[in-house]
């Protein structure tokens, strides 16, 4: 694999850690029931958001799903506003009207997250249509899970994006389950990227927990999209460590085995990168500890920010 600049490697590590620590903070507050809003945690999948978004400019568009915190953070979204929104506070990014599944930050062109499976995919393509009509070289990224490819609108969008030549990167985070249903029980052909390539898109299927691989593959696809304005799909194989929704590990409810979860935990994207950086002497344990401390401070600040936030109120809807 090609050499990645040290600054970028450290940025990828920091981005993943930020996502992980924020999500762990949410898990703790869900367990203590201080958070009432349903939260779909991204723990274990951080390499994808970090690796893809590292290649994006602020003016590039991102649209996401119910499991969106990682994409928002990796795109550069304000952690305070995210945390306050998950607590449904007035100082949240959606002023308490959206909650965890409806995160937004127009300033960084993170335009929407939708709680309807596949709902934001055509919308991402529509932002690409706007770029095409305005003759801009922005790239639009749609993040979604493998479950979204069960929906007809995904295939409608892939076709139309190819037909109209829209600058969209479809990022499929294939975590092998749609809530409780394994992909093999849902799709006759489970190789998503192969099916999409039949529409004429450039596609790739990679290990999503290898953040360097995600970064370099996404970089190639994004550069190509920017130059040609033709869409592409990146399928990243991954696994969510926790439940579909909430902080539990979902081990004993019949749809996945403890041994599989343990296998995937060993493929932690953060630990993987950290070990490689330690081996190469780019990072030391004390430096890693300082980085964690820095992010813990940020999470602590966000906790204070949401505590200071008021519950929203209205006189009339």
What does the alpha-carbon distance between residue 19 and residue 73 come to, in Å, rounded to a whole number? 6
CB of 56 to other proteins, least distance (A): 15
145 forms beta bridges with 173
Nearer to other proteins, 131 or 175 (CB): 131
Strand order in the sheet with 202-207: 110-113, 61-64, 140-145, 168-174, 232-237, 202-207
Task: Mark 105-134 with x for binding to other proteins (rule: CB under 8 A) and - for no binding.
Answer: xx----xx-x-x--xxxxxxxxxxxxxxxx
State how far the Cα of 69 lies from the Cα of 62, in Å rounded to an integer. Answer: 12
Our CA angle for 233, 208, 234, nearest 5°, is 5
The token duo for 147 is 């479950």
- Is there a contact between 210 and 276 (Cβ–Cβ < 8 Å)? no
61 binds other proteins (CB under 8 A): yes
Quote the tokens at residue 266.
């060993």
Size of interface with other proteins, in residues (CB under 8 A): 42
Contact positions with other proteins (CB under 8 A) in 148-207: 152-153, 156-157, 159-160, 163-164
Q: Closer to other proteins at the Cβ: 92 or 272?
A: 92
Q: Which helix (H) or strand (E) holds 236?
A: strand 232-237
Q: Is 37 in the site for other proteins (CB under 8 A)?
A: no
Residues 6+ apart with CB under 8 A from 119: 65, 153
CB of 176 vs other proteins, minimal distance in Å: 25
Candidates 45, 54, 94, 178: give the one binding other proteins (CB under 8 A): 94
Select 97 or 255, whichever has its Cβ closest to other proteins.
97
Residue 69 C-beta-side C-alpha neighbours within 13 Å: 31
C-beta closer to other proteins: residue 122 or 208: 122
**Between residues 96 and 272, which has the closer beta carbon with respect to other proteins?**
96
92 binds other proteins (CB under 8 A): yes
Q: Which of 47, 119 has the CB closer to other proteins?
A: 119
Determine which residue in the list 56, 84, 104, 176 makes contact with other proteins, applying CB under 8 A.
Answer: 104
List interacting residues with other proteins (CB under 8 A): 61, 63, 92-98, 102, 104-106, 111-112, 114, 116, 119-134, 140, 152-153, 156-157, 159-160, 163-164
């Amino acid at each position: 694999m090609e050499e990645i600049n040290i600054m970028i490697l450290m940025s990828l590590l920091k981005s993943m850690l930020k996502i992980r620590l924020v999500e762990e903070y949410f898990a703790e507050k869900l367990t203590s029931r201080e958070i009432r809003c349903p939260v779909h945690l991204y723990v274990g999948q951080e390499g994808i958001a970090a690796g893809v978004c590292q290649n994006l400019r602020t003016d590039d568009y991102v649209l996401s799903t119910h499991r969106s915190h990682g994409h928002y953070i990796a795109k550069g979204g304000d952690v305070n506003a995210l945390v306050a929104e998950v607590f449904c506070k007035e100082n949240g990014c959606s002023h308490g009207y959206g909650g965890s599944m409806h995160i937004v930050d127009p300033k960084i062109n993170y335009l929407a997250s939708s709680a309807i499976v596949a709902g934001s995919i055509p919308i991402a393509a529509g932002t690409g249509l706007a770029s095409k009509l305005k003759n801009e070289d922005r790239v639009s990224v749609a993040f979604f899970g493998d479950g979204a490819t069960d929906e007809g609108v995904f295939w409608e969008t892939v076709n139309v994006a190819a037909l109209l030549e829209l600058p969209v990167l479809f990022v499929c985070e294939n975590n092998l389950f749609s809530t409780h249903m394994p992909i093999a029980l849902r799709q006759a052909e489970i190789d998503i990227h192969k099916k999409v390539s039949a529409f004429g898109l450039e596609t790739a299927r990679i290990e999503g927990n290898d953040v360097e691989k995600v970064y370099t593959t996404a970089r190639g696809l994004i550069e190509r999209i920017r130059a040609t304005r033709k869409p592409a799909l990146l399928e990243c194989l991954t696994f969510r460590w926790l439940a579909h929704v909430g902080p539990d590990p979902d081990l004993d409810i019949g749809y996945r085995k403890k041994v599989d979860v343990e296998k995937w935990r060993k493929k932690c994207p953060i630990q993987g990168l950290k070990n490689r950086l330690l081996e190469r002497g780019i990072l030391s344990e004390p430096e890693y500890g300082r980085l964690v401390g820095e992010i813990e401070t940020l999470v602590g600040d966000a906790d204070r920010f949401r505590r200071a936030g008021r519950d929203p109120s209205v006189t009339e809807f």
